[in-house]
Structure 1
Amino acid sequence: MITLDWLYVLAGIVFAIWAFASLRDASNGKRFGNAAFWGLLAVSFFFGGAMSDLANGILVLALVGIAGTGQLGRSDPPTTTLEERLGFSQRFGNKLFLPALIIPLTAVVGTVLYNYTPLGETGLFEERRETLILFGIGVLLALAACMVWLRPPLLAPVEEGRRLMDSIGWAAVLPQMLAALGGVFALAGVGNIIGEIAGGVIPEGSIFVAVVIFCLGMALFTIIMGNAFAAFPVMAAAIGIPVLVEQFEGNPAVIGAVGMLAGFCGTLMTPMAANFNIVPAALLELKDQYGVIRQQIGTAIPLWVCNVVIIYVAGFLLWS
């Protein structure tokens, strides 16, 4: 059986290769910091499940220490030349994006076939992890297609991946850390405290006000913590499960899925979501580092309103 651990091992191999390549990159003045950062991530993916909570916590603190003291630097490894890339662009045009479509197609089509055909009876994939595993398989297939089709240097995928990740730096792991922070908040009882406060604000029997407060909390906590995955455990424990699902008997699938979308509206409006909003501005060398956020606010607010309406209508009016 192929389990999610296979993906962890695959990711660990990639990070380990980046760490080794960074260590050998004499052109990067901060190569030792880069090597340590990606190497620790490799250790996390290889052995995180077998390590104690304390050991994992120390590993995370080490990552924060490396990034916080400015030990990460950009690399510029040689791969294909500018002339070669321009030649690919002129020769293939938008067809260059075709390999990228292999990834979602493998995940979606593979999941449908596995769940709705006799393939599912083979037990090939870990239960409820089929899509993630197929997503990883799609990445490998897309990489193989690119290598066969474009015939770049053998190390081009490694070096280009390292160059891109070095450009993003610590922000590459920010979503995972913020999601873990949400779990810590939930275990600390923050959701229960917010639930008690919300209980005093929501009028008795008012489903719509409860939905608004739930969606508003998702957006605001996402703005504060930078990630809807961090906000969800808190707001689900505070309002989503005890009020919307248990008290008002709403559709849990709609409340959970669209509630996450309400949180993503907060993602569009916060610099805390650095990997989405600040890093692109830096990579594009925009004069306004908050330029991406300013452009997204006009979409985020009406989208949040739509999410409130969807939860209220689909999660309650049509559900009952």
Structure 2
Amino acid sequence: MIGLPALYTFTGLIFAAYAILSIARRRIGNAAFWGLIAASFLGGDRFGDFGNGLLVLALVALAGTGALRKPDVGDEADDGARYGNRLFLPALIIPVTALGGTFLLPGSGLIDPKQITLVSLGLGVILALVALYAWLRPPPLSALEEGRRLIDAVGWAAVLPQMLASLGAVFAVAGVGDLVGGMATTVIPHDSLFAAVLAYTLGMVLFTMIMGNAFAAFPVMTAAIGLPLLVHGFGGNPAIVCAIGMLAGFSGTLMTPMAANFNIVPAALLELKDRNAVVKAQVGTALPLLVCNIALIYWLGFR
């Protein structure tokens, strides 16, 4: 049965290929960084907490000392002028496969029922890659070379979501959620559902803006307000409350420079003069989305 271990192995092999290609180009710092990422995917469950902690410290040391080099100048192939926006068509295979697999494969017996969507997403990536090779017929290693070039351009920020999600789990275990919840209950009126929904969604936005990732904010705010007040206190549907609460947190992602891989890295890649230009452009979208998410939780989560 296909599950997360298969996805981790596939991802680990991709990063291992990036490391090998970096060695071939004498980019030793990049090779070490992506090699450690590959090791975490391929054997992280066997390293133990101490081993994984050392691995993370090594990643921090490589990134903090500037060991990662930017991609080579002029090593990309530009087919944009030839194919135009048609180049984006194979990318649509990924969400279509993920959505179709989620609805069509639960009874197949081939995939872990708990990981259907993630496995379908990985399958979509493979199918999109096959379609691109069949259409464009590039050199065999071009996908890996271009992937290495792109990941080098993003740099250490590529693993920032994983790091911040781990930080959120650490905060939850440390009891930050209980502390925030205790403070919130002294402010939120006990009989006001709307006030509780507002506190949860705004808390998700603020913690996301501080920590840079909704995955980091989610365990804290859900432990503080989502579960004790909205689910247990007002009888909310946990699936609806938590899913839309996460979407509310994503509104915060759009409005913070702490989400470097989403907002600062694109500005750097596009060589924008204002490094906060992406954030400023997204505020007008983020605020209406937040209002919609607040309304959706209030109307749908407590029927």
Fold match (TM-score > 0.5): yes
Selected match of 1:37 from 33, 48, 62: 33
Report if the CA contact (8 A) 1:269-1:296 is conserved.
yes
CA separation in 1, counterparts of 2:271 and 2:10?
Answer: 32
Query: Which residue pairs with 2:286 in the alignment?
Result: 300
- The structure with the larger Rg is 1
Query: Which residue pairs with 2:89 in the alignment?
Result: 98
Selected match of 2:60 from 64, 86, 108: 64
Alignment of 1:215-294 (within 5 A): 215-294=201-280
Shift of 1:76: 2.2
Report if the CA contact (8 A) 1:254-1:314 is conserved.
yes
Partner secondary structure for residue 309 of structure 1: helix
Partner secondary structure for residue 45 of structure 2: coil
Structure 2 CA distance for partners of 1:80 and 1:313, relative to 1, 3 Å: closer
Structure 2 CA distance for partners of 1:236 and 1:78, relative to 1, 3 Å: same
Query: Which residue pairs with 1:161 in the alignment?
Result: 147
Shift of 1:78: 7.0
CA separation in 1, counterparts of 2:76 and 2:295?
Answer: 50
Report if the CA contact (8 A) 2:177-2:220 is conserved.
yes
Query: Which residue pairs with 1:150 in the alignment?
Result: 136
**Gaps spanning 5+ residues in structure 2: where?**
none
Report if the CA contact (8 A) 1:226-1:272 is conserved.
yes
Shift of 1:38: 0.2
Query: Which residue pairs with 1:183 in the alignment?
Result: 169
Selected match of 1:126 from 89, 112, 124: 112
TM-score, length-scaled by structure 2? 0.97
Alignment of 1:40-55 (within 5 A): 40-55=36-51
Letter in 2 for 1:63: L
Shift of 1:196: 0.4
Query: Which residue pairs with 2:25 in the alignment?
Result: 25
CA separation in 2, counterparts of 1:61 and 1:100?
Answer: 34
- Give the count of matched residue pairs: 303
Partner secondary structure for residue 129 of structure 1: helix
TM-score, length-scaled by structure 1? 0.92
Structure 2 CA distance for partners of 1:79 and 1:137, relative to 1, 3 Å: farther
State whether structure 2 residue 2 is matched by structure 1 residue 2: yes
CA RMSD of superposed structures (Å): 1.4
**Gaps spanning 5+ residues in structure 1: where?**
none
Report if the CA contact (8 A) 2:177-2:221 is conserved.
yes
CA separation in 2, counterparts of 1:95 and 1:305?
Answer: 35
Selected match of 2:189 from 188, 197, 203: 203
Partner secondary structure for residue 124 of structure 1: coil
Letter in 1 for 2:100: V
CA separation in 1, counterparts of 2:76 and 2:271?
Answer: 23
CA separation in 1, counterparts of 2:93 and 2:74?
Answer: 26
Partner secondary structure for residue 139 of structure 2: coil
Shift of 1:81: 4.2
Report if the CA contact (8 A) 2:76-2:146 is conserved.
no
